[in-house]
Structure 1
Amino acid sequence: MRRRLKTGDMVLIAALLLPLVVALPRLGGPGGPPEMWLTWVGKVSGILGLAMMLLAGAVSCRVPGFDRPFGGLARLWHLHHWLGFAAFILVMLHALALGLAAVPASLDAAVATLFPPLSHGALWLGWLAWAAMVVFLAPTFDFFGKPHYQRWKRLHLVSAAALLLGLGHALLLAGEAWPWWLLGIAGLGAIAWRKGVAPSRRHPYRVEEVVPLARGVVELVLRPEGSGIRHEAGQFVYLSPLDERLAAGRGEEHPYTIASSPADARLRIGIKDLGDASHALQTVTPETRVLVEGPYGEFFGRRFPERDMLWLGGGIGITPFVGGARDLASGAAPEGRVQLIYLAQDDARAYYRQELEEIAGRVEGFTFTQHFSREQGRMTEAFLREHCPDFTEREIYLCGPPAMNAHLQRLLAGQGVPALRIHSEVFDFL
């Protein structure tokens, strides 16, 4: 995730600080004896923790276009993840600090502060919110192993309960309630949109053709039933197949990069057999329906127009570059020169090679180079300098397996390429 603040980041920071700024006159300062200081820390951490919980919900709305001020949906989900994690830590600090603040009076007073009689409903709403957070977040901790994708998504309903209970806790205790109403509407409204409204707004398509590209790799050609979506090169969609004969993944949504030109009336999506759902899609029945949601991302939107571009694609990560190349072939005016280097194991795994060679042969300013790891080993500085001597001066785009991306990031950074000119997206838990 890039360190440069985006417009969306500024809005999040302002929203996060709003309830704290409103509450500060009532909280006073952190001075005085230790118990007063701990009380102040407990209240501030509680305010920030709940605000982060509600904002984590707000950024999960996944409305097409909403992700762009944040640098794309992948980056927005990283923000969502860290807001949720930081909220959990701050809520724990909130309870610990308030309990410790009562210890100088007596141990019984500390216990009563944290666990009062049941008639103190506001405090017990806070504990219930914490319990719901534990249920929701526990599967994401590494010692449980990688969580099941669809099961983890269904657990988001538990996160809605955590937000609702936490909001009730704050509204009963806050002096000024309006900041919490604003954040509550944003957080709970986003979840209501995501779970209730958004599924009904997906675009219906038909599987017109299933084109084999290699063993375990196909390209789906989708025909819109209505107007379809409008997209840019490098964007991705969520695809939900409805073929009743699928062995897995029916009705499930998974992200896939668009490989078609924005000028193409059909939506083309390259899919590699990487799991149960993508395996089943290798033999999806033609003319069955799929639902498409999106588009998302701004892969090629993050650049300086005055620079030439270097595209480095590997495996099924070649698909955004195929979409970009097809866009150039359809007549889109290139902004400077474009060099595409296709990193594949061998010729049999270079899925779109012939088409990309043909596009390079007729589109001025677009160059295509292949790199086969079985013959040439890992990508090196020498290979880059031979085939793209000015690569350190270009905008560079990466998409491929995580190990490839990590190797290229290290290689480029070692050659002095600034991080702001290296662009990549990872779809983990999108």
Structure 2
Amino acid sequence: MRRYPKPGDIALVVALLVPLVVALPRLGWPGAEGAGAWLGWIGRTTGILGLAMLLLAAAVSIRLPGMDRWFGGLARLWHLHHWLGFGAFILVMIHALALGLAAVSLSLEVAVVTLFPPLSHAAVWFGWLAWLAMVIFLAPTFDFFGRPHYQRWKRLHLVSAAALVLGLGHALLLAGETALWWLLGLAGLAAIAWRKLVSPRVARHAYRIETVTPLARGVVELVLAPEGKGIEHEAGQFVYLTPLDETLTAGHGEEHPYTIASAPGDARLRIGIKDLGDASHALLGVTPGTRVLVEGPYGEFYGRRFPERDRLWLGGGIGITPFVGGAREIAERGLAGGRVHLVYLANGPDRAYYLDELEAIGARVEGFTVTPHFYRELGPLTEAFLREHCSDFTEREIYLCGPPAMNAFLKRLLADQGIPASRLHSEVFDFL
């Protein structure tokens, strides 16, 4: 939710504009030449920007651990990736429409031939095929089709590689300057090759499940021991977990994101799992001793501009796990910076699965406070409850994590108290 630009944002803007700046001398300026000239100029300009967006959307999908922090975490980077892809689609549509309308000023026949020339004009047909591939892989993301199946949606993104190759072919056959398109194209193709072919073989770490600890109905904590060199992580980060237990009813060999609940100094990875779908439901009964593959870590949930400020943590559901990791780090290393107040939002004591451990840490560590809030007893969280238990909450850095409805409610509640968005921090795993 941070509203200030990150280094990756600036790099994306530069990479997006460079092809247009290089092409501007050739494109010229339509000036007073009339509507047709302006439409032609807009068509060519949007084509350049649209293809650059498509290639950059592919390039940022590489998902290298650590690189996501240049953009404010993987969740934010994935949102940028989605908007780049959608923006590319819109600009490509404007590109074709503007060029067609520019040709209409000559005649309708010229417009038709401009958009749909003989098949020997490969460059134009490469462009149409690229647009068709974009339609195929973007269509499932529209609400009209319902929420797509997670794994099918990820596999469908392979079609984006076809769109990238075809769009690149379209540009290379028509553009006057090709070096930049080769550079962006190779970056996009390399990112796709890394994600789909290379990283599953070289970037994943082997772990073995030591224990499966029930925490509540439909909730367990997995304790994972590394088979070789494990990953190094910070509190609040997450990993992609791929279980290899062949007895699982779902999710075998599939990667899904889960937050790390262990302290950074813990040799084991501890991951809280809640029954939220077929794959997570199956993991509740995973066999201890079986292997999993772990890729990461990702995210920067606790990345902040003012570490000396006091903090307010608002967590509920399985969204409590980044705060459990943060509290376990505090238990090991003490507080770094200001005080921390955790408000644990749960339906009732039976659903506050980490509460005993968190309260024990609060009893040992001065400056770390835990306050439970039970919905069945108190109803929704209120400004009065926050003021009673954390009177200076409007002055703190605030971190929130929980179910989407809870996050949306908390954001409205905090915004109503005049808290700026720059002091609200959250990460949401929505089709990561």
TM (norm. structure 2) is 0.99
Pairwise CA distance, 1:303: 3.8
| CA deviation string 1:359-403 (max 9, x = no partner) | 111111111100000000000000000000000110000000111
Pairwise CA distance, 1:191: 0.6
- Alpha-carbon distance between aligned partners in 2 of 1:41 and 1:417, rounded to the nearest angstrom: 41
Partner of 1:137: 138
- Alpha-carbon distance between aligned partners in 1 of 2:323 and 2:305, rounded to the nearest angstrom: 15
What CA RMSD, in Å, does the superposition of the two structures yield over aligned residues? 0.8
Name the amino acid aligned to 1:345.
N
Partner of 2:34: 33
Residue 37 of structure 2 aligns to a residue whose secondary structure is helix
Pairwise CA distance, 1:333: 3.8
Pairwise CA distance, 1:234: 0.3
Partner of 1:65: 66
Q: Matches of residues 241-390 of structure 1 in structure 2 within 5 Å? A: 241-390=243-392
1:13 aligns with 2:16: no
- Alpha-carbon distance between aligned partners in 2 of 1:137 and 1:305, rounded to the nearest angstrom: 40
Residue 171 of structure 2 aligns to a residue whose secondary structure is helix
Contact 1:334 1:365 survives alignment (8 Å): no
Partner of 1:99: 100
Partner of 1:178: 179
- Alpha-carbon distance between aligned partners in 2 of 1:152 and 1:190, rounded to the nearest angstrom: 18
Pairwise CA distance, 1:306: 2.0
Partner of 2:216: 214
- Alpha-carbon distance between aligned partners in 1 of 2:229 and 2:314, rounded to the nearest angstrom: 33
| CA deviation string 1:15-39 (max 9, x = no partner) | 0001100000000113211111100
Contact 2:334 2:365 survives alignment (8 Å): no
| CA deviation string 1:327-369 (max 9, x = no partner) | 0111244211010110000000001011011111111111110
1:4 aligns with 2:4: yes
Contact 1:344 1:373 survives alignment (8 Å): yes
Pairwise CA distance, 1:2: 3.6
| CA deviation string 1:64-93 (max 9, x = no partner) | 001001000000000001110010000000
Find runs of 4+ consecutive structure 1 residues off by over 4 angstroms: none
- Alpha-carbon distance between aligned partners in 2 of 1:132 and 1:337, rounded to the nearest angstrom: 52
- Alpha-carbon distance between aligned partners in 2 of 1:126 and 1:332, rounded to the nearest angstrom: 58
Gapped regions of structure 1 (runs ≥ 5):
none
Matching residue within 402, 413, 429 for 1:427 = 429
Count of equivalent residues:
430
Q: Percent of counterpart pairs with the same letter?
A: 77
Contact 2:235 2:260 survives alignment (8 Å): yes
Name the amino acid aligned to 2:29.
G
Residue 67 of structure 1 aligns to a residue whose secondary structure is helix
Contact 1:203 1:291 survives alignment (8 Å): yes
- Alpha-carbon distance between aligned partners in 1 of 2:264 and 2:307, rounded to the nearest angstrom: 19
TM (norm. structure 1) is 0.99
Name the amino acid aligned to 1:364.
E
Partner of 1:23: 23
- Alpha-carbon distance between aligned partners in 2 of 1:130 and 1:417, rounded to the nearest angstrom: 43
Q: Which moved more, 1:58-67 or 1:26-35?
A: 26-35
Structure 1 residues 168 and 423, CA gap change in structure 2 (3 angstroms): same
